[in-house]
Amino acid sequence: MLASEGIEAHLMGRHLLGGTGELPIFGLLGLEVDNDQAAYARELITAYIGAQPLPGDEPDSFPDVLVC
């Protein structure tokens, strides 16, 4: 989603997920973007997290849930 808006993002810590159980499960992942794009990226992510399915668009197996 960020790439489609011209924001280059890097997922930090994804290789640490294999250590779950030996490492704490919280705080392993981070999203890194350029400083000049951080505010816009945060705005897009906030809007994405708050998105609701359009009426009639949610699948039958997940009513009232936005499935991506």
3-19 as b/e: b if 16+ CB within 10 A? eeeeeebeeeeeeeeee
- The pair of structure tokens assigned to 29 is 């992942």
Q: Does residue 30 have a pLDDT over 60? A: yes
Distance (Å, whole) CA 53 – CA 42: 21
Overall number of domains in the chain: 1
Range of the domain at 37: 1-68
Mind listing the pLDDT tens digit for each residue in 33-63? 999 999 999 999 999 988 877 777 666 666 6
Please tell me the predicted confidence (pLDDT) of residue 16.
63
Between 9-18, 31-40, 57-66, the lowest mean confidence (pLDDT) is in: 57-66
Quote helix, strand, coil % in the chain, to nearest 5.
35, 15, 50
Give the pTM.
0.61
